[in-house]
């Protein structure tokens, strides 16, 4: 597995060299957390739903992970256009190991950014229900990151236009995020939205985070974990297959 480790390390170094990119990716989650958390907090409490910041934090953590993980795939298109990908693919290494290493690197970066958002949330008053719950949430954070990094890689493996990639990503990401129960409780959602949300894998990731961090999950934690780990495996396999079919 040395090749996987090398690709993982290379991906981490490439991402963390750009400090502006890391800081910039935290702007949107923080805006949502502060503007919605405090702006709608009073309305949420009057509706009898409790503390909105405690409800919102897991969804904003997942949002930070989702955007970073999905956009990690653009590096494949970048490397393909400038010839770096060809140098990697001609190496005597199975392509699935290259894809796994890149995905683990992107997932690690996304997970770290999710943890940073969690730490910032602690500064504004969010408190996990227990230390054990906070530790268990790390598993959900990494699985969400891995699943959507693999998804972004799968999409990028079939694209060559760097300018089209962000447009396609936004077309996919926004429905995934807004229809995941991240901003509103599913118990109060209309039947149609609830049905779509239950088909969305991110719903179970956010619910798992909410259960471990806030103790208020909509589904059983075991179901959340089963769906997320199944999604991570399936999208990892899909990403590996499509990556192996890249022609440079």
For 126, which DSSP code?
Answer: -
pTM of the complete model:
0.88
Q: Which residues of 148-175 are buried (b: 16+ CB within 10 A; e: fewer)?
A: bbbbbbbbbbeeeeeeebeebbeeebee
* Confidence category of residue 31, pLDDT binned at 50, 70, 90: confident
Domain count, the chain: 1
Give Cα 218 to chain centroid, integer Å: 20
The pair of structure tokens assigned to 43 is 């309305």
53 or 25: which carries more pLDDT confidence? Answer: 53
What local confidence, expressed as pLDDT, does residue 80 receive? 74
How far apart are the C-alpha atoms of 44 and 40, rounded to whole Å?
6
How far apart are the C-alpha atoms of 84 and 62, rounded to whole Å?
31
How far apart are the C-alpha atoms of 149 and 124, rounded to whole Å?
29
58: nearest Cα among 107, 114, 123: 114
User: Do the Cβ atoms of 153 and 147 come closer than 8 Å?
Assistant: no
How far apart are the C-alpha atoms of 215 and 61, rounded to whole Å?
16
What local confidence, expressed as pLDDT, does residue 98 receive? 81
Residue ranges making up the domain that contains 14: 2-244
Q: Which residue's structure tokens are 């990690």?
A: 72
Q: What is the chain's mean pLDDT, rounded?
A: 82
* Confidence category of residue 10, pLDDT binned at 50, 70, 90: low
The per-residue pLDDT for range 164-205, each reduced to its tens digit, is 777 888 888 889 999 998 888 888 778 888 899 999 999 999
For 247, which DSSP code?
Answer: -
The per-residue pLDDT for range 83-108, each reduced to its tens digit, is 666 667 666 778 788 888 888 888 98
The per-residue pLDDT for range 41-79, each reduced to its tens digit, is 666 666 556 678 888 899 999 999 998 888 877 777 777
Phi, psi of 179 (to 5 degrees): -105, 40
């Amino acid at each position: 597995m040395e090749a996987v480790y090398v690709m993982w390390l290379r991906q981490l170094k490439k991402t963390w060299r750009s400090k502006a990119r890391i800081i910039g990716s935290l702007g949107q989650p923080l805006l949502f957390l502060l503007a919605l958390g405090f702006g709608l907090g009073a309305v949420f409490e009057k509706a009898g739903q409790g503390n909105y910041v405690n409800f919102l934090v897991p969804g904003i953590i997942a949002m930070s992970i989702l955007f970073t993980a999905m956009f990690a795939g653009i590096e494949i298109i970048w490397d393909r256009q400038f010839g770096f990908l060809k140098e990697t693919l001609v190496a005597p290494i199975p392509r699935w190991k290259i894809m796994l290493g890149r995905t683990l690197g992107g997932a690690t970066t996304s997970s770290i950014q999710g943890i940073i958002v969690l730490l910032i949330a602690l500064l504004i008053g969010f408190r996990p229900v227990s230390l054990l719950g906070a530790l268990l949430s790390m598993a959900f954070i990494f699985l969400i990151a891995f699943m959507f990094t693999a998804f972004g890689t799968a999409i990028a493996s079939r694209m060559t236009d760097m300018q089209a990639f962000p447009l396609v990503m936004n077309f996919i990401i926004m429905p995934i995020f807004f229809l995941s129960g991240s901003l509103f409780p599913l118990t109060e959602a209309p039947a149609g939205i609830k049905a779509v949300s239950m088909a969305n894998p991110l719903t179970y990731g956010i619910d798992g985070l909410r259960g471990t961090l806030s103790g208020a999950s909509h589904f059983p934690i075991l179901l959340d974990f089963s769906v997320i780990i199944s999604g991570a495996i399936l999208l990892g396999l899909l990403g590996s297959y499509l990556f192996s079919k890249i022609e440079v």
